[in-house]
Amino acid sequence: MTARLDHRTLYRLPWSLPDNAISWLEPTAACNLYCEGCYRTNDPRSHKTLSEIEADLDVFTSLRTCDGISVAGGDPLTHPDVAQIVAMIAQRGLKPILNTNGLALSRELLVELKRAGLKGLTLHIDSKQRRRGWNGKSEVELNALRLQFAEMIAEVGDLSCAFNSTVYDDTLESVPDIVAWAQEHIDIVHVVVFIAFRSAMLGGPFDYYVGGERVELGEVPYATPASARTDIQSTDILATIQERFPDFAPCAYLNGTERPDSFKWLLAGRLGAPGRPGRIDGYVGPRFMELAQTTHHFRHGRYLAYSGPRVLRRGRSLLLLSPVDHGLRSAAASYLRAAARNPLNALKRIHFQSVMIIQPIDVLPDGRQNMCDGCPDMTVWNGRLAWSCRLEEPQRYGAFVQTVPKKPPTTH
Ligand code: SF4
């Protein structure tokens, strides 16, 4: 099942190689957990020094304008100097956002990181992790763990709280449960991200080459037997969400480098109040997202990433923009209907929440690699920008791998 969507009706996010909302810093490839869909080889001796991290930040600031820096890995909390790394980013006037599995996160550490300038966290939690105490739990059961983190982050305060999870063939059906959970906690959960599982297929229809030489891809962590499903589309995830929530409507996207009509990043923004069942007033439309991105760029010279909770809870004032955006108009109508049913509803805060669906690399039948155009998750390799989802390739082979369709077998 896949959703039909015309990219020309959505706002193309304006992010590009030199001017983006975020960039991706990897201070370490060390991790304290195993995740099935991880792109990095766990290396406990891979912590970068602070001067190496300064050098990576210099590359970002010399090549790219951005609003936030995702501090990822590996797990960045395994780095002994994580608070200093956060402070180094904040001192450059950028928003540090930690991408972590949360295992090493305590309230005390969170307070220390916030003091150092932390602006938000993205917690990766899904059912294909070997997380002690949660091994074998379903995505629905894991919502209890997500809530523990969301409550801790809300208690420390003034931090953006995001969750991401990898979506596999057998967890696709659970996506609406996470969407529903996030809706219920819209006041403390600001972003949810679903990433379609991707992996290079071994024994599949392609051979892999670097500089004209054939390479065996079995060494990179994102190589799997061809039997694994690696073609879940963002529109498949969308259709699964819409089956439960027919109103769910994306407003913006990032296209693929090879296919302008593919949805590599698909973004929905919704407005609502928390509670059981959570009340969603509506979904913002493309004009609102265009206004949000371009106004921020006009005022601050950067595209917006990770708004803070103080901004996101001002959903009622966003409704004033309904003359320019059809999504906001229907959200305003829904808000007024709720207020007419019960005037106390009018007093409730309305919060804004983003739901992002990411569809990483697709290899087209002729071997072309359809990457995210204007990749926000560019990291640094050897002083230049590199796709973080494929960093293992230049590290192992000196360059990104080319995919070449296998020749059809000869019959005689
Ligand atoms: S190209 Fe790779 S690193 Fe860049 S945004 Fe897409 S999945 Fe992430």
- Tell me the angle at which helices 107-116 and 139-156 cross, rounded to the nearest 10 degrees: 50
Residues 6+ apart with CB under 8 A from 295: none
- pTM of the predicted model as reported, rounded to 2 decimal places: 0.96
Q: Which of 372, 378, 381, 400 to mutate to test the pocket of ligand 1 (most atoms within 8 A of CB)?
A: 372
For residues 61-81, average pLDDT? 97
pLDDT of 343 above 70: yes
Examine the pLDDT at 409 and tell me if it is beyond 70: no
Which residues, other chains included, contact 390 with Cβ-Cβ below 8 Å and sequence gap of 6+?
39, 222, 361, 400, 401
- The C-alpha atoms of residue 182 and residue 99 are separated, in whole angstroms, by 18
Q: Choose which residue among 164, 375, 378, 381 to substitute to test ligand 1 binding: the one with the highest number of ligand atoms within 8 A of its C-beta.
A: 375
pLDDT of 134 higher than 80? yes
How large is the average pLDDT for residues 54-82?
Answer: 97
Going from the Cα of 252 to the center of ligand 1, the distance in angstroms, rounded, reads: 17
Nearest atom within ligand 1 for CA of residue 376: 5
Reply yes or no on whether the pLDDT at 257 is more than 60.
yes
* Residues contacting residue 334 through CB under 8 Å, at least 6 positions apart: 281, 282
Give the residue, out of 387, 390, 392, 400, with the most ligand 1 atoms within 8 A of its beta carbon, to mutate for a pocket test.
387
Question: Would you state the torsion angle of the CA atoms of residues 383, 386, 388, 394, taken in this order, to the nearest 10 degrees?
Answer: -90
| Ligand 1: residue whose CA is nearest its atom 2 | 389
Q: Is the pLDDT of residue 225 over 90?
A: no
What are 120's strand-pairing partners?
97, 160
pLDDT surpassing 60 at residue 287: yes
CA dihedral 261, 267, 269, 273 (to 10 degrees): 130
Q: Which of 377, 380, 385, 391 to mutate to test the pocket of ligand 1 (most atoms within 8 A of CB)?
A: 377
Q: Of all protein residues, whose CA lies closest to atom 8 belonging to ligand 1?
A: 377
304 CA distance to ligand 1 middle (Å): 18
Q: Classify 319 as helix, strand or coil.
A: helix
Distance (angstroms) between ligand 1 centre and the Cα of 70 equals 13
Domain spans of the chain, in order of start: 20-199+230-403
The confidence band for 411, taking pLDDT boundaries of 50, 70 and 90, is low
Q: Greater confidence, 119 or 276?
A: 119
**Ligand 1 atom closest to residue 24's alpha carbon, by position in its atom list:** 3
Q: How far is the CA of 360 from the centre of ligand 1 (A)?
A: 6
Q: How confident is the model at residue 410 (pLDDT cuts 50, 70, 90)?
A: low
Q: What per-residue confidence (pLDDT) applies to 228?
A: 79
Higher pLDDT, 204 or 225: 204
Q: Which of 164, 159, 168, 199 is nearest to 182 (CA)?
A: 164
Q: Where are the beta strands (DSSP E) in 101-188?
A: 120-124, 160-167
Return the pLDDT at 191: 98
Q: 348 or 1: which carries more pLDDT confidence? A: 348
Pocket of ligand 1 (CB under 6 A): 264, 360, 371-372, 375-377, 387-389
- Does the pLDDT of residue 318 top 90, yes or no? yes
pLDDT of residue 177: 97
- Half-sphere exposure (CA, 13 Å, Cβ side) for 362? 23
The sign one gets for the Cα dihedral 112, 31, 256, 190 is: negative
Q: Please, what is the average pLDDT of the chain?
A: 94
123/165 Cα distance (integer angstroms): 8
Domain at 20-199+230-403: CATH architecture:
Alpha-Beta Horseshoe (3.80)
Q: How far is the CA of 377 from the centre of ligand 1 (A)?
A: 5
